[in-house]
Amino acid sequence: MSAYLSKRLLTLKPYTPGEQPTDKKYIKLNTNESPFPPSPKVAEAINREAVEDLRLYSDPDLKALTGTIASTLGVPRECVFCGNGSDEVLCFSFLAWGSEGAAYPDISYGFYPVFAGLCGIKSSVFPLSPDFQINLEDYDGFKGLIVFANPNAPTGLFVEVEKIRTLAENNPQSVIIVDEAYVDFGAESALPLIFDYKNVVVVRTFSKSRQLAGARLGFALADSELINDLNRVKFSFNPYNVNRLTAIAGEQAMLDADYFESCRAKIISTRERLKCELSRLGFAFTDSTANFVFASHPGISGRRLYEALKDRRILVRHFPAERIDNYVRITIGTEAETDVLISALSDILKEAGL
């Protein structure tokens, strides 16, 4: 770093994204992207006219996109905010509501502490239970922003919405962010709570269940006053935060309900098949409702498993962190990719004499 870097940022530890190789020689099961392409309607809509329109800035109010999200999900348009990936929505949330501090689980999305550090916000970290469950009662009485992923990452476990309701009810002093990046793969959404509580924000992404990780699009759903707060941050940073092509892609992805349903059904069935195969091979894993599984094997370390799979051109994610460094997180791929994965895991265990 340079001698000019702001003092505040000296101790900031930036987020480490999963590997993103530029060639296609790996089966990529490391960053929870979709193994399927976006809806064919997306490619049709990104046409010559859309490209020519790139000379113009995007609509700062994203009326068409927020309108489509609103009507698809059954919320008023004033309750929708879009960002450049849900990462941006989350960062804006820390800026908007984190002045009294931010609380999140010790094992969760690794960007929460980074956002807190970047925004100069004090973090309070609450440990998951030994079986990796989030105890929402721990957060009762906390004065600042509360944020957790549901289902959680990298465990894939979810907290029942009724428990989130109790948290919202008991803690009107806090904004509660429910990061639902993975909710479409089988968990229950907290969306109905936004109509009952003025302190609940549901954050979603187009990166996982709508196949648009590379387009960068996420959104928040909340009471319109909270949405106004996010707009206050956005219009103090970048009024054109979602680019024209991404807005078009997002609209089409939202509108193509059949494609969305068929992709998520395939992911869910492949995930359940993978769980059976992992059991057969002697793995332990959480009962994930996300588009990944979080697995460990009693005979081989997480690090070794990650490396052995990489040697076989399969990328998974290993987190060298306390309590979870014996695990790997494996994104659900296509059926064919899953076959290759299972036979690689079998070989690795055989070679290790297991």
Nearest to 341 by CA among 51, 110, 27: 27
Least CB distance to ligand PMP at residue 84 (A): 8
Angle, to 10 degrees, between the axis of helix 63-73 and the axis of helix 244-255? 20
Pairing of strands 292-296, 327-331: antiparallel
Q: How far is CA 47 from CA 242, 245, 246, 249, 319, in A?
A: 18, 10, 13, 11, 40
* Residue 17 beta carbon to ligand PMP: minimum distance, rounded to whole angstroms: 8
Nearest approach, Cβ of residue 14 and ligand PMP (Å): 14
* Whole-number Å distance between alpha carbons of 89 and 66: 14
Rank residues 97 and 349 by Cβ distance to ligand PMP and give the closer one.
Answer: 97
Residue placing its CB nearer to ligand PMP in the complex, 149 or 247: 149
Q: Which is nearer to ligand PMP, 288 or 345 (CB)?
A: 288
For ligand PMP, the binding residues (CB under 6 A) are: 32, 85-87, 109, 149, 153, 179, 181, 205, 207, 213, 218
**Nearest position to ligand PMP, beta carbon:** 85
- Which of 109, 283 has the CB closer to ligand PMP? 109
CB atoms within 10 A of CB 346: 13
Strands (DSSP E) contained in the chain are 27-28, 80-83, 102-105, 123-126, 145-149, 176-179, 200-205, 218-221, 284-285, 292-296, 314-315, 327-331
Closer residue to ligand PMP in complex, CB, 144/218: 218
**Least distance between ligand PMP and beta carbon 248 (Å):** 17
User: Pairing between strand 102-105 and 123-126?
Assistant: parallel
Query: Which residue, chain included where needed, has tokens 């600042």?
Result: 144
Q: Which is nearer to ligand PMP, 213 or 300 (CB)?
A: 213
Asked if residues 184 and 208 have their Cβ atoms less than 8 Å apart, the reply is: yes
CB of 218 to ligand PMP, least distance (A): 4
To the nearest whole angstrom, how small is the minimum distance from the Cβ of residue 109 to ligand PMP?
4
